[in-house]
Structure 1
Amino acid sequence: MSTRTLIAALACTAAFQAPIAHAADDPGALIACGTTEADRVTSREEALARSQSWLDARVPYSQQACYRNEHGSYRTDCSGYVSMAWGLTHSRTTTTLREVAAEIPRADLRPGDALTTSYHAALFVRWADDAKSEPVVREQTGPDGAAPVERKWTAQTANAYTPLRYYRVTGD
């Protein structure tokens, strides 16, 4: 992992990293800003459109701030960004995103899936190469005040992340 990628990833480290047994105990719910009644059934196209809304608005990164638009109110860090794109009830943490998603093989990544570690999460957009080794992602990453970006990751960076698929995504 490059120094730049490591710094950006560490900037997205959620305030609470301990694994949580139940979603009701998820600390993300305490700093969720607002909630919806239930996790949405979200198409891949909707997830990308929702994520684009934060790119267009240049929503500034913060683990303590919330941003509200037509998609709801979510914490403006990396896991809040993925939570918003997926239409979750509240902003999850990088650890608790796994409670609403399943690990998938890297080669099966499709638009709207996520790449996660215990300290960072990004939304998968597409492959930049035919070998399916360099993903294009959208991510909300620090330092505080930085806007979300769409960028290509190197294969080395991507290999440090676990691919996840939201359990209520449609369009497969």
Structure 2
Amino acid sequence: MTTRTLVAVLACTAALQAPLAHADPEGSIACGTTPEDRTTSRTETQSRSQSWLDERVPYNQNACHSNAFGDYRTDCSGYVSMAWGLTHSRTSTTLREVATEVPRADLRPGDALANANHAALFVRWADEAKTEPVVREQTGPDGQPPVERKWTADTAAAYTPLRYYKVVEDL
């Protein structure tokens, strides 16, 4: 085998292996992966997200947490990725690749609110006007566990409502 052929084979092998790595786009840390994005019910998103609340998983963009639901980065988008059952931890920006924008008033448990810097899982409305969402979120500083809290209407207005493309309604 010539050196040129060997270089071509190695380059091809690396290219074939790259998509399987599922590293996060920023390259900060890659956690475990699953074979495909799972179909997840709204109730499952709540159970999955509750697991990190119960375990008091500390926020850290450079760490992973593994439990019965997989191995995900312990930041805001890793938290939403885990709740949805994605193949890997996405970023607050790349969550849009597996979701569609929905009207704010149509948010349902298991949907998300996201912008370029943060993402949170929608739980329910705190008010009849549907302006103040109750969310679950993994937020810093480092070491802080996820929380469930009510956002103000002004805070919510800075986020885009998203629905995971493989979420199913509960029967």
- RMSD across aligned C-alpha pairs, in angstroms? 1.5
**Are positions 1:80 and 2:89 aligned together?**
no
In 2 relative to 1, CA 99–26 (structure 1 residues): closer, same or farther, beyond 3 Å?
farther
Normalised by the length of structure 2, the TM-score is 0.84
Equivalent residue, structure 1, for 2:24: 28
Q: Within 2, Cα distance between the matches of 1:27 and 1:93?
A: 11
State the 1:26 CA deviation: 6.8
Equivalent residue, structure 1, for 2:111: 113
Equivalent residue, structure 1, for 2:3: none
Q: Within 2, Cα distance between the matches of 1:75 and 1:81?
A: 7
Normalised by the length of structure 1, the TM-score is 0.84
**Unpaired segments ≥5 residues, structure 1:** 1-23
- Count of aligned pairs between the two proteins: 149
State the 1:28 CA deviation: 1.3
Letter in 2 for 1:146: Q
Q: Is the 8 A contact 1:26 1:96 kept in 2?
A: no
Q: Within 1, Cα distance between the matches of 2:24 and 2:56?
A: 22
Q: Secondary structure at the match of 2:79?
A: helix
Equivalent residue, structure 1, for 2:136: 138
**Unpaired segments ≥5 residues, structure 2:** 1-18
Q: Secondary structure at the match of 1:28?
A: coil
Q: Within 2, Cα distance between the matches of 1:154 and 1:103?
A: 20
Equivalent residue, structure 2, for 1:11: none
State the 1:32 CA deviation: 3.0
Equivalent residue, structure 2, for 1:8: none
Equivalent residue, structure 2, for 1:91: 89
